[in-house]
């Protein structure tokens, strides 16, 4: 066997082992459209307004996305250090205002931010600096970020929740939303909400 064939065989073997290791460690990438959201628990927000927005009481210490009393949940994975997240903050705030100002969507569509690698202090600082009106939850150890496929930021995941508690991912996308009205139209259509 020639040197070229041995090298190609060696590279092929290394690639195969790498792929095997990735699947063995649970890496599967971001949630795919049509799949269920990976199972994880989030801490209930400390602020009473954020708890009320999510329909949680003071008794709730934690929650899962499918447990929320909503038809559609929009998760935004962000980082306070992400310049794209900072630039997109006004657009995401506008998205929230459009939802809350629409009687057909208010209470049915919720937005939650998950701060990848951000402490409670960092998430609270981002919330205050950019006037974020919806809950921002800290993920200081990247636990949830890893479960969600270690996505880059900002990353948006739309989760449609059925009345029986079942759910599916309807949107999984990297990048800024830019135009809140276009994003809302797209995600409402994907969720088949009237």
Q: Which residue has the tokens 């636990």?
A: 143
H or E, element range at 73: strand 72-78
pTM equals: 0.85
Look at the domain 31-190 and name its fold. Glutaredoxin (3.40.30)
- pLDDT tens for the chain, 194 residues: list them: 666 666 655 545 455 554 444 444 444 689 999 999 999 999 999 999 999 999 998 888 999 999 999 999 999 999 999 999 999 999 999 999 999 999 999 999 999 999 999 999 999 999 999 999 999 999 999 999 999 999 999 999 999 999 888 999 999 999 999 999 999 999 999 999 86
DSSP state of 80: T
Give me the sheet containing 167-174, strands edge to edge: 136-139, 109-116, 72-78, 155-161, 167-174
Distance from C-alpha of 45 to C-alpha of 51, rounded to nearest angstrom: 6
Find out whether 160 and 72 touch, Cβ atoms under 8 Å: yes
Give the integer Cα–Cα distance in Å for 66 and 168: 9
- Per-domain residue ranges for the chain? 1-27, 31-190
If you search the block for the tokens 């994880």, which residue do you land on? 40
Q: What is the DSSP letter of 10?
A: H
């Amino acid at each position: 066997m020639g040197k070229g064939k041995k090298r190609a065989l060696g590279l092929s073997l290394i690639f195969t082992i790498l792929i095997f290791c990735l699947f063995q460690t649970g890496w599967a990438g971001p949630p795919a459209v049509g799949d269920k959201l990976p199972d994880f628990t989030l801490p209930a927000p400390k602020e009473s307004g954020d708890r009320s927005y999510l329909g949680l009481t003071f008794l709730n210490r934690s929650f899962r996305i499918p447990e929320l009393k909503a038809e559609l949940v929009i998760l935004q994975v962000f980082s306070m250090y992400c310049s794209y997240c900072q630039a997109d903050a006004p657009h995401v705030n506008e998205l929230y205002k459009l939802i809350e100002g629409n009687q057909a969507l208010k209470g049915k569509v919720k937005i939650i931010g998950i701060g990848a690698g951000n402490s409670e202090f960092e998430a609270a600082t981002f919330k205050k600096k950019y006037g974020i009106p919806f809950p921002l939850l800290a993920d200081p150890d990247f636990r949830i970020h890893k479960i969600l496929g270690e996505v880059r930021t900002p990353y948006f995941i739309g989760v449609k929740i059925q009345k029986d508690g079942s759910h599916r991912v309807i949107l999984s996308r990297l990048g800024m939303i830019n135009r809140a009205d276009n994003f809302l139209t797209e995600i409402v259509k994907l969720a088949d909400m009237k």
